[in-house]
């Protein structure tokens, strides 16, 4: 008969319940986090033994519920990026492995890496507070444009990983990259200032559930490297096997340069340029 039951009486009566005695379960800060309730099949109030049960159990319930809240918070900290709220690298790896293992015959698993262009420069010019807000804005735009069913994670400072719904072939992959680029087209407005932000995108695909995630990630990295080498902006590449040889060649060349510098193998030669009309030195060509 309590007025608080007006909206719920129709739920309890069909089950044969004719009375209820409910006590709030409160957290340490006073919030009500649950209720401890006795339901009766007769019209009556609580007995003394039930009051004693409540006196002991409500406190224990509060401890258990708060403990679960803490555990949930710890799990979230372990597997989510605190800045953007997206899954972090650890959860990305776990979820991607599950999705790859569940790949059905005839379907394609796609992995997309999105790397923001010159984000370090933006951080240095506008400050880390603006940089953090930009990263949150990018995360929100990616989530909005890709929709449910697409797994998005922040896997490094300014790098995001995307595992979309099943897409087939390079054409679909390029459409995905175009959707991501379009989402980042409009400049971000920070403290009244427009901040344009481009991104390079690398995509790798496989139809084999047996392909190692690490190998697929390496392929996506190579495609991303290829995209970045094309210059900043709306640049995307889908991995092709010939990229591996090109990347290895470039890395080998860079290492050769470093080794040569360390070993003192470079020498500088100055070659004079002389005007024949008057035999005067007019310039010097510097050769390394």
Instruction: Let me know: does 199 contact 223? Beta carbons within 8 Å.
Output: no
Distance, C-alpha 144 to centroid of its chain: 13
Element (H, E) at 8: none
Helix axes 119-126, 128-146, angle to 10 degrees: 140
List Cβ neighbours of 247 (8 Å cut-off, separation of 6 or more). 222, 225, 226
Distance, C-alpha 262 to centroid of its chain: 39
Beta pairing, strands 151-156 & 159-163: antiparallel
CA distance 134 to 128: 9
Instruction: Let me know: does 238 contact 272? Beta carbons within 8 Å.
Output: no
Positions annotated as catalytic residues are 158
Helix axes 241-263, 213-229, angle to 10 degrees: 70
CA distance 192 to 259: 48
């Amino acid at each position: 008969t309590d007025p608080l039951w007006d909206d719920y009486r129709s739920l309890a009566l069909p089950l044969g319940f004719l009375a209820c005695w409910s006590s709030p379960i409160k957290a340490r800060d006073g919030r009500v986090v649950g209720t401890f309730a006795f339901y009766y099949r007769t019209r009556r109030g609580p007995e003394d033994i039930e009051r004693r049960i409540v006196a002991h159990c409500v406190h224990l319930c509060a401890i258990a519920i708060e403990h679960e809240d803490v555990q949930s918070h710890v799990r979230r900290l372990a597997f989510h990026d605190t800045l953007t709220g997206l899954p972090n690298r650890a959860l990305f790896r776990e979820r991607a492995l599950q999705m790859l293992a569940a790949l059905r015959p005839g379907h394609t698993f796609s992995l997309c890496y999105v790397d923001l262009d010159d984000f370090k420069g933006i951080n240095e010019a506008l400050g880390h507070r603006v940089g953090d807000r930009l990263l949150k804005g990018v995360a929100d735009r990616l989530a909005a444009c890709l929709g449910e069913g697409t797994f998005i994670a922040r896997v490094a400072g300014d790098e995001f990983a995307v595992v979309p719904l099943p897409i087939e072939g390079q054409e679909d992959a390029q459409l995905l990259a175009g959707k991501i680029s379009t989402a980042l087209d409009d400049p971000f407005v920070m403290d009244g200032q427009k901040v344009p932000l481009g991104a390079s995108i690398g995509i790798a695909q496989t139809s084999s559930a047996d392909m190692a995630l690490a190998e697929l990630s390496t392929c996506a990295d190579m495609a991303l490297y290829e995209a970045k080498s094309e210059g900043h902006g709306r640049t995307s590449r889908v991995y092709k096997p010939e990229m591996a040889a090109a990347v290895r060649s470039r890395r080998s060349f860079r290492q050769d340069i470093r080794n040569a510098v360390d070993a003192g193998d470079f020498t500088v030669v100055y070659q004079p340029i002389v005007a024949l009309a008057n035999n005067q030195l007019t310039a010097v060509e510097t050769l390394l």
